[in-house]
Structure 1
Amino acid sequence: MTNTDQHKRTAPAASPFQLVKLLSWSFFVLIVGFNLMLSIFLADYARHTLMKKQEEFALLLAENLNHQIFQRFTLPTLIGFGRIELRQKAQFERLDKTVRSTIHSFHVIEVRIYDFEQTVAYSTNAALVGLEGLAGHTVKAAMDTGQHSFEVINFNPTYRAFLRPELEKGSAIMRTVYTLRAERRLDTPERTGPIIGVLEFTQDITDVYSTVLNFQRIIILSSLLSSLGLFFMLLLMIRRADRLAAQRTREKEMLERDLHQSEKMASMGRMVSGIAHEIRNPLGIIRSSAELLLGKSRREDPKSSHTRILQAIFDESKRLSRTVNEFLDYARPKAPRLEPVDVTQVLDQMAVFLESKLQQQEVELAREYAPGVLIMADRDLIYRAFYNLVANALEALNGPGKIRISVNAAAGQVMVNIEDSGTGFAPETLEKLRDPFFTTKDSGTGLGLTIVDTILGGHGAQMHLGNNPEGGARVEIIFPAAKAG
């Protein structure tokens, strides 16, 4: 059973959930988009409605101004003086009194009346009377067509006004331009008299504009909050479904991996049994005979060619014996006999055994732990696991360096870290290092980490392989702590 076959079986199981996840996110995006579009439409409609009401109010005020000016100033002035001449103080004061009494309490900032030469004939700001060039294009258009117009001026950008909780007075004004006529009835839209000027006034509509902004804020925030509520509901559902799917996928992968491993172990066990039966006994005879002859040759002539040949035979027989033992350990793993073991004592025992090799290679071994850390383990098996890991670190250093071993106990777990100052694991090989017979070295069977992983698995421990940020390999082993008593 290959990894490709395994992937093909697990991929279809994940596909339906990926489709559901995609549809869920797509549905969420559509809901958010629809809510935002609806909120923008409602907010704009509310703004348009309130502004329309304000324009109607301004139009009524303009009509009332026109009526009051005509009834209380124009007619009496024509009767009393025969002509209108605002340069006369009495006429100006009469018009000013009429205008101010009409606009009182209507938040009017300024009133101007332009004559046919588009000169300011009257203004509540006396300094502007008689000035030319102040009439805008709307005044000219009103003079030509007789149509009134409205213009809203915001002194704050829309986005800035939206973010400010309160607006200062005068932040938004409405300018109304209205044709001033000689005679006009309030109950009919028909104009009955000629144009005698153009009336322009500005109103402070900050309060109305603030009401519009508050309503827009309520609509948009309600839309966002409802969208966020939906988002979190979908997120919780997706995460829950994702966890369930991931758990089922992991369980399926574990079952398939265990089945694959069991098949492999059974096949390997049969093969190794035959190999061991055929090789182990003759190999033992060769090794013991080579050792006996080597000892004799060393005593007679240590530098002879016979001694060198016997030394090579003895070394190779030992290496082949270790290889056979590795095959046997992999094919027929020993069941651990669990008992409380001080893991620091096992590490100290291993350090003493490797002391001469560490000195020979000029490698510093830093042990950072306190004694008395208990785990449930088989002392011989975890000794071998630790030995293999540190031996691998020594081979990776291939010269002077540093190996650091630390032990930490917390939250019912014991964590053993073995780090070295070498080049670390190649990222592309990290996933394959536990695979049987996979090796990055020119020699070796590729069973070392596999046997370590098997031993630790029998102890309920987890092994994580990785690299340190500052360089070097890192092996993290997590044991369940031994229960007190």
Structure 2
Amino acid sequence: MKKITTPPIKNDIEKKEKPFRLVKYFTFSSLIVTFLATLVLSALNTHLARSMQREKSEEYARVLVENLNHQVFMQFVIPVAIKFGKIQLRNKDQFERMDKVVRSTFHSFEIKTVNIYDLDDTISYSYDQKVIGMQKVGGTGYLSALEGNSNSKLRQRGNSIQMLLGFPKESLLVTYAPLRAERPLSRLSGPVLGVVEIVQDLSKDYLAIFRFQIIVVSTISTVMCVIFLILLLIVKKGEGIIQQKAVERLRLEEKLNRAKHLSSLGEMTAGISHEIRNPLGIIQSSAELLKKKISDPSNKIPDIIIEESTRLNNIITDFLNYAKPREPNRIPCDVTDIIDKILTYLEPGLQVQTYVIRKYFGDSLPQIMADGDMLYQAFLNILMNAMQAMPNGGEISIEVNIAGNNINLIFEDEGPGIPDGNLEKIWEPFFTTKDTGTGLGLGIVKNIIESHSGSIRISNNHPLKGARVTVELPIYQEGK
């Protein structure tokens, strides 16, 4: 059986990215970050412009209402009261007089619709004669204005793309304001006679803002692309100059850099895990307490929080175990007892997925000097990988025997095996073919086995299907 070893340093170095590649990636990343920042700033600028446009339009509407209120009272209410004794817009002469006053007041202004409500929420006057007489259509805006408070709301209409990009097909600002009787010394201080509704069409203004936003984004994007192309040419030229020197230098520094990297990663991971685990524990315990207090069984939010907290804690543990492996606390251990303990732990899952475990333990197996907890973790990881390779169930065999001064453990499954192109990559940190996981599991297993002066190799079962994991652990260890 061929033992899988780490690829030679020379080949590994030559496959690595060239030093100047980092500059290229940084250049590309900078372009993306700058472009995204431009989009964000443009969106904020557009939002600010729209807000200012809306505030301006609302103030514009309030001034128009104030002017309309004065004109209606002076040119319509008083003359009509004197001539007819009471106001009835159903009267043709009165309606025409009101229409003349309103249209002359708004003659030079961009107003789409004007509605005047009486105190019973009935439209008494409107540009659109079809809605005259309609009742209870004013809504909350009418009720607020009836209490003396002017208010506005924006109505937008368009398809989902138009709404998402911020240029709806139609944008109408609807303003409700009280229509009051005037007193000689104070305008708009008399009792409320009705409510006026003014509708302004802001569609053109919003479209102009959107077009300006497109111009800004397009201009900046073009400039950034030109800069990026120039930088890319410079980077490519620099790569060609330093390529050979970089390969030679990296070959000599590979082992030292790897050691420094793992050391730094270990220190960083230890600090980060400590800072994350404390609040993470509080979040998980709070979610568990919340789950107990929630009486609605359909509320799955606490379960989701607990599940994700556990997953994050497992990820932190993987990083810590790989980057900063601990020294084993060796005591006499029976590897078969460890395996039986693992199978007891996995038994519920094994039964649900119809996994069959075949054990072939040799006779009179000696104990070894090892850290039982660390071996438990390593063997559990191997068995979990075997189960994940057979999501619909299958047979897993575990063989333990003596080979010279070693205890051999062989784990076999009936899964699809490992693609030949991945056999040399499975020990690399963060390499994984799964949709989930950190890609550190086998690296942690390898660290644990090697910390016990053992070895591990993985191969495919040819001509049968499945993968085989072989672990060798020394029975006696010098100085132990």
Provide the TM-score with structure 2 as the length reference: 0.46
Q: Which has the higher contact order (CA 8 A, sep 6+)?
A: 2
Provide the TM-score with structure 1 as the length reference: 0.46
Higher Cα Rg, which structure? 1
